[in-house]
Chains A and B, each alone.
Chain A
C-alpha cells in the first residue's frame, strides 16, 4: 500500500515540474513588458530599468527560472502589478470560496448521481431508467452559464427565493448557505448526469459478475446484493470518473464564479488576465494546476484503496 503511494508520488513529481516550467515559459512569451506595466504610465527609462533589475528580468532565462522556483518554494508567488498585494495573499483569500463552491457542488451531486445511477441499474429497462439516462445526456450537454442564467432568472428574480450576487458568509451560516445554493446547484447540475450514468454502467457490470451471482444464490435479497456487493466494486470506475471530472469542474467553476460574482480563484484568474496582471495570472494558473495534480493523486491513491489488485501491481 505504501509502496503504491510512494510510486504514485514519484510519478507526480516530474509532472509538477513540467507544469512549473511551462507556466514559467508561458509568461516569458508575454508581449507586454512587466517592468513597464509596473512602472506606470509616466515613468522614465531609468525607473523602468531599475524595476527591471529589481524583478530580475535582466538575468538569463535559466537563472530567472531558478529564482522563480526558489521564490515559489518560499511561498512567494510575486506581487500583483496592479496594487502591489502579494499574489499568495490574494490566492489565500480566494481559494477558500472556490473550494467552498466546489465542495457544495459535489456534496449534493455525487450522492444524488450515485443514487440515481444505482436506482436506474436496479430498475433497468423501466421508464425511470430511461429518464435517468436522458437526464444524464442532457446534463452533459447544457452550458454551465445557461443553467446559471435560468436559475438567476427564475429562482433568483421571478420567485425571489435565493440570492445570486456573491458570497455572503461561511458555509455554516444561514446567509452563507443561501448564497452558495444557486451557484452550487449550477455547478453540480452538470455533474449529476455523468456520475449517474457511470454508476449505472458500473453497477450493471458488477451485477453480472461471479461473486454477485454467488451472493444471489445464497439467497441474499436483491437490494442487499446491490448495496453491499455491487456498489463497492462499482465505486472504482465512478471514483475514476469523478477524478477526471475535477478538471471539468474547475472550468465550470470559473464560469459559475463569473455568473454569480463569486469571489473565488476563477474570477481572480479571469480578472487578472483581462487586466494583464501577469504575476497574478501566472500564480493563479500554477496554483490551480497544482491543485488539479494533487486531486488526481488523491484519486489515484483512492483507486488503490478501493481496488486491491492495483496495489500489488
Chain B
C-alpha cells in the first residue's frame, strides 16, 4: 500500500499545442492540414500548367516523366488539376462549414438562451436532420442546376442542424455556470452576454466539431461531384476528377486513384487532427 501522503496538486496543464505535438499522428496531420491549405491557396502560382489546357499528343500519360503526376483522358496535366481541384474542394467545404456553421451556431445559441424558442428551433432542427445530406444535395441540384453553388447550398443546410445541436448543448452547459448568472443579475444585455461570455466558452467544442465535420463535408461534396451534380466539366474538383477517370480505371488508374487518394489523405488529416484536438481540450474524453 503506497502512502497517500504525496502532495495532491493538480498537474500543470500543458498548452493545447504541446499536447497535440506530443502525439505523432496529430503532429503529422496538423502539418498535412496546413500543407493542403497552403497548396490550395497558392495553386495558381504553384501549378506548372493551365489545368484546362489539353495536350492531345499526350493523353493518359502515367506519372513520371514530363508530367509529374501524368495526364488525364484529355491530356491535361494532373498535377495542375490536382492543385486547382484541391482548391475547389477545400473552398466548397470551407464555405459550407462557414455558412452552415454560422447559421447553426446562432440557432443553437438562441435555442439555449431563449427557452421559449427552444422547442420550435429544435423541431426545425429535427426536420432538417430528416433529410440525409446527399439527398438534399440532389434536390438542390435539381432545382438550381448542378454546380459548385448547389453543393455549397446543400452542404451548408446539411451542416446547420448539427452545428445547432452542438452549439445548443454546449451553451446550455455554459449558461448553467455561476458567473453567467452573476452577469445576468448585473443586468448585462443579451447580445453582450452571448458575444462576450457565451461564445468564447463554447468555442472549443464547436471548433473541435467543425474540424471533424470538415472531413465529412469534403466527402459529401466530392461524392456529389462524383455523381455529376457538383463541379461541372471542365472545372477541376477532386471528386469530379475521380469520376471522370472511372472510364480508364483499367488502363490509366492514376487518373482516378490520385484524386481519390488526395481526398482520403486530406480527410484523414482533418479527422485525426479533430480527434486529437478533442482529446487535448477535454481529458475526460480521452480513453
For B268, give the chain A residue with the smallest CB separation: A141
Q: Are A292 and B132 in contact (CB under 8 A)?
A: yes
Interface status of A153 (Cβ within 8 A of chain B): yes
Q: Are B139 and A285 in contact (CB under 8 A)?
A: yes
> A134 → chain B, closest Cβ, in Å?
8
Interface status of B138 (Cβ within 8 A of chain A): yes
Chain A interface mostly helix, strand, loop or mixed? helix
Chain A residues numbered 80-111 whose CB sits less than 8 Å from any CB in chain B: none
Q: Are A250 and B268 in contact (CB under 8 A)?
A: no
Give every chain A residue within 8 A of B141 (Cβ-Cβ): 273
Interface status of B131 (Cβ within 8 A of chain A): yes
Give every chain B residue within 8 A of A273 (Cβ-Cβ): 138-139, 141-142, 229
For A200, give the chain B residue with the smallest CB separation: B287
Give every chain A residue within 8 A of B134 (Cβ-Cβ): 250-251, 254-255
Q: Are A31 and B143 in contact (CB under 8 A)?
A: yes
Q: How far is the CA of A14 from the CA of B287 in the complex (A)?
A: 39
Q: How far is the CA of A293 from the CA of B127 in the complex (A)?
A: 9
Give every chain B residue within 8 A of A15 (Cβ-Cβ): 123, 126-127, 130
Give every chain B residue within 8 A of A276 (Cβ-Cβ): 142
Interface status of B174 (Cβ within 8 A of chain A): no
Chain A binder among B14-22, B53-61, B239-247: B239-247
For A208, give the chain B residue with the smallest CB separation: B287
For the A-B complex, the count of residue pairs with Cβ-Cβ distances under 8 Å equals: 134
Interface status of B272 (Cβ within 8 A of chain A): yes
Q: Are B143 and A29 in contact (CB under 8 A)?
A: yes
Q: Choose among B222, B256, B287 the residue that contacts A204 (Cβ–Cβ < 8 A).
A: B287
Contact with A along B254-282 (1 / 0, CB 8 A): 00110011011001100110010000000
Interface status of A196 (Cβ within 8 A of chain B): no
Q: Are B219 and A143 in contact (CB under 8 A)?
A: yes
- Contact status of A145 and B260, CB under 8 A, knowing A26-B139, A26-B143: yes
Q: Are A270 and B138 in contact (CB under 8 A)?
A: yes
Give every chain B residue within 8 A of A187 (Cβ-Cβ): none
Q: How far is the CA of A140 from the CA of B222 in the complex (A)?
A: 14
Q: Choose among A14, A269, A292, A293 the residue that contacts B138 (Cβ–Cβ < 8 A).
A: A269
Q: Are A258 and B227 in contact (CB under 8 A)?
A: yes
Contact with A along B99-138 (1 / 0, CB 8 A): 0000000000000000000000001101101111111001
> A302 → chain B, closest Cβ, in Å?
18
- Contact status of A138 and B268, CB under 8 A, knowing A146-B263, A250-B132, A251-B132: yes
Chain A residues numbered 1-58 whose CB sits less than 8 Å from any CB in chain B: 14-15, 18-19, 22, 26, 29-31
Q: How far is the CA of A14 from the CA of B135 in the complex (A)?
A: 20
Give every chain A residue within 8 A of B257 (Cβ-Cβ): 149-150
Q: Choose among A22, A26, A137, A258 the residue that contacts B275 (Cβ–Cβ < 8 A).
A: A137
Number of residues from B at the complex interface, CB < 8 A: 44
For A290, give the chain B residue with the smallest CB separation: B130
Interface status of A112 (Cβ within 8 A of chain B): no
Number of residues from A at the complex interface, CB < 8 A: 47
Q: Are A250 and B135 in contact (CB under 8 A)?
A: yes
Q: Choose among A26, A138, A140, A143 the residue that contacts B239 (Cβ–Cβ < 8 A).
A: A143
Give every chain B residue within 8 A of A140 (Cβ-Cβ): 215, 267, 271
Give every chain B residue within 8 A of A137 (Cβ-Cβ): 268, 271-272, 275
Interface status of A67 (Cβ within 8 A of chain B): no
Q: How far is the CA of A118 from the CA of B257 in the complex (A)?
A: 33
Give every chain A residue within 8 A of B126 (Cβ-Cβ): 15
Chain B residues numbered 195-252 whose CB sits less than 8 Å from any CB in chain A: 215, 219-220, 222-223, 226-229, 239, 242-243, 246, 249-250
Give every chain B residue within 8 A of A26 (Cβ-Cβ): 139, 143
Chain A residues numbered 251-293 whose CB sits less than 8 Å from any CB in chain B: 251, 254-255, 258, 269-270, 273-274, 276, 278, 281, 285, 288-289, 292-293
Q: Return the 3 tightest CB-CB contacts between A and B, nearest first.
A: A251-B134, A146-B260, A18-B127
Known interface pairs A15-B127, A281-B138; 14 further A-B residue pairs with C-beta atoms within 8 A, sorted by A's residue number: A14-B123, A26-B143, A30-B142, A141-B219, A143-B242, A143-B260, A143-B264, A146-B260, A149-B256, A270-B227, A270-B229, A273-B139, A289-B135, A292-B131
What are 24 pairs between A and B in contact, CB < 8 Å?
A15-B126, A19-B127, A19-B131, A26-B139, A29-B143, A138-B268, A141-B267, A141-B271, A143-B219, A143-B239, A143-B267, A144-B223, A145-B223, A146-B264, A149-B242, A153-B253, A247-B129, A250-B132, A250-B134, A251-B133, A255-B223, A273-B139, A281-B142, A292-B131
